[in-house]
Amino acid sequence: MKERGNFNSRLGFIMASAGSAVGLGNIWKFPFEVGAGGGAAFLVIYLFFALVLCFPVMTAEIAIGRKAQASPVTAFKKLGFARWSGVGYLGLAAGFLILSFYNVVAAWSFGYFFEMLQGHFEISQHFSEYTANWLKIGLYSLIFMSGTAYIVSRGISHGIERAAKALMPTLLFLIVGLIIYALTLPNAITGIKHYLLPDFSKITPTIVYSALGQAFFSLSLGMGALITFGSYVKKDANIVTAAAIITFTDVFIAFLAGLMMFPFVAYVTQGDLTAMSAISGEEAFIFETLPNVFNSLGPTLGVVIGSLFFLLLSFAALTSTISLLEVPTAFLVDEKKVSRGKATWTVAILIFLIGLPSLLGNGASAFFSEFIQFPNSTSPISFMSMVGMIGGSTFLSVGGFLISVFVAYVWGKSNFELEIQSDNEGTIGRWLKQYVQFAIRWICPLVLGIISLTTILDIYFGISLF
């Protein structure tokens, strides 16, 4: 068999996985979800899901991948449970759907980088015209997808690991720089208070489910991305502590994104709480409001801070699109014996095409912009929002539920324990390992099962149990 490739070091694996986790989800989605979900009230629920539920699922995914040395579909077969390869196919479908719309949002961000460089701050008033300009956005998304495919086609250590090692530290540097700057703006403290003081009245079952969906999406879980990355990890690496570091990094960067964003919100609304609540819960917040912030900083500083911000966003998106493309690529390599280069470009072209309705569904085509209305919702949503809901939320939580059931009750407790054992685990590592083993059997299947089921009934069938 041809060499599949490996990460050169455990650090390389951690950086690539953290790169997968940290993305548009942290910087674009997380702050507005916090805004809509009552500040720290949402944050607490989110933290609970990430640490208590997602961390064990992440360990489980990495363990499956490393044991089988294969990407999801092949992995379930290699472990001797061919029937479960359906979970791998569900993951593949999720990956296709997520990347198809994610690449469009990445293209918006990448395009904004050039707009900010040219000082086009007034773009914030024309965001809907910008997204409706399908030719321009099409070009940016083609460039973004090609960049992603180029890196993935170069393989694990030469492409993915190298890119993550260059981009992740840059990203951290940019975000810390921007936070320091944001904190010097007038009303920054009011913004931070709005972020960190909880408003529990905003918590509804929908918000709880969106926190779960957000945690899965943000940690790249439930679709086998970490099964795939795990398959390139060396046998002696301690995967429990690696999963803990990846989870912590992702949560920490989402938290930092809030620290950067809320002072900006407070600055632009001059500390007005009602106005702050209104805009911080808006999906288009970073595209419609932030350019005004940058504009008011004056021509030079505005260009510098504005373009750095969108560069940060583009880098964060790139390390995630890489992992999204790696999953179907690895499927073709492992399962269909296609060469890596051919596999990468084939999937990239296919996903770009699947993404066209999302690209057109933001103003260019009325049909795709108001595509479907779910039973309990008040207005139709776009093709892109639908794809995000199905692939980016439902499939991931269902996938996470099935993965935890598989590891706990099918593959089995002792196989899992053998795979996550390590010679150099230390006291904390041992506690974490014990917790993971407990949670994967008793907490994850139950909680994920209940929440996924009730939400599917609610969103898709209009049956509310609560």
Residue numbers of the site for ligand PFF (CB under 6 A)?
20-21, 23-26, 98, 217-218, 220, 223, 225, 320, 323-324
Question: Cβ-closest residue to ligand PFF?
Answer: 25
The distance from CA 277 to its chain's CA centroid, rounded to whole angstroms, is 24
CB-wise, 214 or 295, nearer to ligand PFF? Answer: 214
Calpha distance 113→306 (Å, rounded)? 8
Contact criterion met (CB below 8 Å) for 369 and 362: yes
Instruction: Name the residue nearer to ligand PFF (CB basis): 46 or 181.
Output: 46
Burial category of 173 from C-beta neighbours within 10 Å (exposed 0-12, middle 13-18, buried 19 and up): exposed
Among 38, 45, 25, smallest CA distance to 451 is for 45
Closer Cβ to ligand PFF, 330 or 405, answer by number? 330
- Three-state secondary structure readout of 386-399: HHHHHHHHHHHHHH
Residue 153 vs 323, nearer CB to ligand PFF = 323
Q: How far is the CB of 39 from ligand PFF (least distance, A)?
A: 20
Nearer to ligand PFF, 276 or 324 (CB): 324
Cβ of residue 19: shortest distance to ligand PFF, in angstroms?
9
Q: Which helix (H) or strand (E) holds 452?
A: helix 444-461
Q: For the packed helices 299-336 and 162-183, what is the interaxial angle rounded to 10 degrees? A: 150
Nearest-approach distance from CB 360 to ligand PFF, in angstroms: 22
* b/e burial code for range 386-409 (CB count within 10 A of at least 16 → b): bbbbbbbbbbbbbbbbbbbbbbbe
Lookup: tokens for 49: 């899901």
Distance of closest approach, residue 146 Cβ to ligand PFF, in angstroms:
18
Least distance between ligand PFF and beta carbon 414 (Å) = 29
Q: What token pair was written down for 202?
A: 């905003």
Q: How far is CA 150 from CA 194, 238, 340, 342, in A?
A: 42, 30, 11, 11
* Closer of 97 and 447 to ligand PFF (Cβ): 97
Nearer to ligand PFF, 319 or 365 (CB): 319
Nearer to ligand PFF, 15 or 223 (CB): 223
- Report the chain's terminal Cα–Cα distance, integer Å: 53
Q: How far is the CB of 460 from ligand PFF (least distance, A)?
A: 21
What is the rounded CA–CA span in Å between residue 297 and residue 185?
A: 10
**CB-wise, 61 or 276, nearer to ligand PFF?**
61
Task: Please give the sequence-ordered ranges of beta strands (E in DSSP) within 287-356, or none if there are none.
Answer: none
81, 376, 395 from 406: Cα distances, Å: 10, 32, 16
Q: How far is the CB of 378 from ligand PFF (least distance, A)?
A: 27
Q: Which residues are 372's β-sheet partners?
A: 381
